[in-house]
Amino acid sequence: MKKTILITGWTGYIGSHAVVAFEQAGYTTVIVDNLSNSSEQVLSKIGKILGYIPDFHKADICDTKALDEVFSKHGFDGVIHFAGLKAVGESCEKPFLYYGNNILGSINLFEAMVRYKVRRIVFSSSATVYSSDNTLPLTESSKLGTTNPYGTSKLVIENVLQDLSLHASLQALPLRYFNPIGAHPSGHIGEKPNGVPNNLLPYILDVALWKREKVRVFWDDYPTIDGTGVRDYIDVNDLVDAHIAAYRKLEEISGDTNGSFTPVNIGTGRGTSVLEMIRMTEEATGKKVAFEKVGRRSWDLAEVYAWVDFAKEFLGWESEKTVKEGIESGWKFISGV
C-alpha cells in the first residue's frame, strides 16, 4: 500500500522537485501551498513530468482551520515541510513577517501533526543556523547562531522540533542545506521566483538572458580565492534525493515509540566563488555576464561550505552532480532551450 505524505510549500523551487521525486519513488503526495511566491501553473508542469496531477490544496499553514481540513481528509504517514519565506535580505527588512510566517506557521503545522498523530517530519532547514565564527567546514556539531531573521526563524523551528521530539514523540530530521541550484532535467520546473531573484544563479541567468543589466558582486576583498564570497552549491536533484533518503531513514525507526531529532548537512563539501559562478555560466551558456563590484552586505560571510561525511554515513546519501551541471540545467529551464 502506497504511503501518503504531506508536502508543504510544494510550488516553490525545491518543493516542486520533491513532489516529483517522491511520487516517482512510490509515495502518494498531498500538496499544500498558499502560492505567495509561486504560481499554480507549476501544477501543470508537474503533470507533464508525472502524467498526472497530485492532490493540491491551496492553503496557508498560518491558517489553522485550513490545516485541520487537510489533515482531517487524509491519513498522513509523514510530512515534508518546505513552506516558508526564504530571502535573507528581505528578512532583514521585514523581520516580523518572517517570524510570523515561518515560525508561527510551522508551529501550527506541528500542532496539527501531534493532534492527528503524525510523527515523521523532514524539515527544510538551512546552513544559516550556524554561527559566523565557526571554522570550516561546517559540521552538524558546529556552533549555532544566526546573523539574520531568516536564519533565526530556521533555528527557532529546529529548537521547537527538538522540544517536540522529547515531549511529543515527533521523529524529526532537519536538513541543513546550503545553496541549491539547477533544475529538473525535463526543463519543466526550476527556480523562477516572482520579482527580482534573491539567489545568485537565477540572477546571473537573468543577466545572461539580458533581462537584467549586470550582476552586483558584493565586495571583492574577502580572504577567498578571488576576493568574492564562496558558497557550497548543491544541485536541486541531489537535494531532493537527500529528502527521500531522510524520509526512508525515518521509516527505518518507525517502530521506535520515542521521538528523535537528527540534523544533517546537505551540501557538496566544496565551495565556489561568485566570480567562478559567473565564469562557469558564461561557459555553459555562451553568453557574456556583466557584473559590477559593490559594497558588502551586513549579513554576508566570506566563505561557507559543509562537512558532508555524516550525510553519507547516516543517510547513505552524497551529492553526485557538479556545479556546472546545475548551471546547465538551470539555463535549460530559464531559457527554454
Compute the distance between CA of residue 5 and CA of residue 56 in angstroms, rounded to an integer: 12
| Torsion angle of C-alpha atoms 21, 24, 30, 36, degrees rounded to 10 | 30
pLDDT at residue 301 in the model:
82
Does 4-180+235-266 match 200-231+269-335 in CATH topology? Answer: no
Per residue in 155-206, pLDDT (tens digit) is 999 999 999 999 999 999 999 999 999 999 999 999 887 777 888 999 999 9
Contact 260, 171 (CB under 8 A): yes
Compute the distance between CA of residue 117 and CA of residue 104 in angstroms, rounded to an integer: 20
E strands, 170-261, in order: 171-177, 179-181, 215-218, 230-231, 233-235, 260-261
| Listed residue (219, 103, 107, 111) closest to 151, CA to CA | 103
Question: Domain 4-180+235-266 is of which CATH architecture?
Answer: 3-Layer(aba) Sandwich (3.40)
Active site includes 150?
Answer: yes
Higher pLDDT, 250 or 42: 250
Backbone torsions φ then ψ of 302, nearest 5 degrees: -70, -45
| Listed residue (289, 288, 285) closest to 324, CA to CA | 285
Distances (CA, A) of 186 to 50, 161, 189, 204, 249: 11, 35, 8, 21, 28
Q: Which CATH number among 3.90.25.10, 3.40.50.1820, 1.10.1740.10, 3.10.129.10 corresponds to the domain 200-231+269-335?
A: 3.90.25.10
pLDDT band at 38 (very low <50, low <70, confident <90, very high): low
Q: Which of 13, 27, 98, 150 is catalytic?
A: 150
Q: At residue 6, does pLDDT exceed 70?
A: yes
Per residue in 275-314, pLDDT (tens digit) is 999 999 999 999 999 999 988 877 788 899 999 999 999 9
- The string of DSSP letters for 6-73 reads EEESTTSHHHHHHHHHHHHTT-EEEEEE--TTS-THHHHHHHHHHSS--EEEE--TT-HHHHHHHHHH
pLDDT at residue 147 in the model:
87
Percentage, residues of the chain above pLDDT 90: 82
- Would you tell me how many other CB atoms lie within 10 Å of the CB of residue 70? 21
- Would you tell me how many other CB atoms lie within 10 Å of the CB of residue 183? 27
What is the residue-averaged pLDDT of the chain? 93
pLDDT band at 337 (very low <50, low <70, confident <90, very high): low
The residue ranges of every structural domain in the chain are: 4-180+235-266, 200-231+269-335
